[in-house]
Amino acid sequence: MDPLVERVLQGEKSALARVISRIENREPQAVALLDELFLHQKAAPRIGVTGPPGAGKSTLVTGLIRILREQGHRVGVVAVDPTSPFSGGAVLGDRVRMNEVALDPGVFIRSMATRGSLGGLASTSREVCEALDAFGSDRILLETVGVGQSELDVAQAADSTVVVVVPESGDSVQALKAGLMEIADIFVVNKADREGADRMVHDLESALSLKNWKDRWKPPVLKTVASRGEGIREVNEALERHAAWQLETGQLSHRRRESVGARILELTREAVTRAVLAKAGRPELEARVDAVLKGVESPYRAAERWAAELLDTANAPSP
């Protein structure tokens, strides 16, 4: 066994931190490490928390950590913030809200930047969850900024997704109609100390009531004042109910199957692209770009032809 893996399994935080860096840097050794760690996972529930910047996600996560710790769980947290598209750098500020639990030996918090990935979820954050799981975190919280499409990533990586909104985000009901409705297992209207919270709850509930929930999980809409710790216990209870429902209905294994499937496809796609570029090299691509720019063929046709050629080569009987 890799000595680093051994140290992770013994609960050494600095070793886990190193492993996570290897994963997020996509260092070549990461695959071997993940391979070993994978066998030591205990399928800890993963809870995604998403929503607009400033909605109170980190504050809510901190409240959840406190309750989960009371219940005796060991908690791993992955807090993802966007990478600046201009510099490639990032300011990861979620720890500011989590200071009160930062010294708890049963809590491990890692901040991640999205780096190259388009969505709000760093493309390697799933693997980081796996490392946390093998390390012994039996509840994993995944905080991400929800902007546009990225929520879907979270939904796919987590067993339960909490969508946090605030009263003033009136127009977010619009957004909800677009995509959040599909991914939320629990809605939280945070900052309920502010004007308009009840209205927001009402709007959400009426939007939800337009759907048919037969045999499906209907997301509850909960009010919290995360900064005062109010309503968090109810959020945790809803999470427990959702977990129980998923287990009962077989949704949990279904969701995990989907998630693993999507991940394998994604990794395969990456690996194939890398292999193709390594083997054929850039010139092969450039030639096709030339053809498209000269108007010889469309990018769709070019891609299709290339894929067909590659598959032909792969399928050809070896001489």
Ligand X SMILES: Nc1nc2c(ncn2[C@@H]2O[C@H](COP(=O)(O)OP(=O)(O)O)[C@@H](O)[C@H]2O)c(=O)[nH]1
Residue numbers at the binding site for Mg ion (CB under 5 A): 57-58, 94
Length of the chain: 319
Is residue 225 close enough to count as binding ligand X by CB under 6 A?
Answer: yes
Tell me the three state secondary structure of residue 112: strand
Residue with Cβ nearer ligand X (94 or 133): 94
Is residue 273 close enough to count as binding other proteins by CB under 8 A?
Answer: no
Q: Which CA distances in Å does 313 have to 258, 305, 309?
A: 30, 12, 6
Site size for ligand X, by CB under 6 A? Answer: 16
Residue 15 CB, nearest distance to other proteins (Å)? Answer: 9
- Are the C-beta atoms of residues 149 and 119 closer than 8 Å to each other? yes
Tell me the three state secondary structure of residue 222: strand
- Write out the H or E segment, with its range, that includes residue 50: strand 46-51
Given 66, 74, 97, 139, the residue binding ligand X (CB under 6 A): 97
Residue with Cβ nearer other proteins (109 or 232): 109
Given 108, 145, 163, 201, the residue binding other proteins (CB under 8 A): 108
Please list, residue by residue across 56-66, b when 16 or more beta carbons sit within 10 angstroms of its beta carbon and e when fewer do: bbbbbbbbbbb
What tokens appear for 316 in the block?
């050809």
Is residue 191 close enough to count as binding ligand X by CB under 6 A?
Answer: yes
Q: Rounded distance, CA 73 to CA 47, Å?
A: 14
Radius of gyration of the chain (CA): 22
Is residue 103 close enough to count as binding other proteins by CB under 8 A?
Answer: yes
Is residue 299 close enough to count as binding ligand X by CB under 6 A?
Answer: no
**Interacting residues of 30 by C-beta distance below 8 A, sequence separation 6+:** 22, 23, 127
Given 31, 32, 43, 102, the residue binding other proteins (CB under 8 A): 102
- Residue 103 interaction partner, one of ligand X, other proteins, Mg ion, none, beta carbon < 5-8 Å per kind: other proteins
Is residue 278 close enough to count as binding other proteins by CB under 8 A?
Answer: no
Is residue 275 close enough to count as binding other proteins by CB under 8 A?
Answer: no
Q: Rounded distance, CA 153 to CA 294, Å?
A: 37
Residue with Cβ nearer other proteins (13 or 269): 13
Residues near other proteins, by CB under 8 A? 13-14, 16-18, 20-21, 24-28, 83-84, 86-93, 95-96, 99, 102-103, 108-111, 113, 115-116
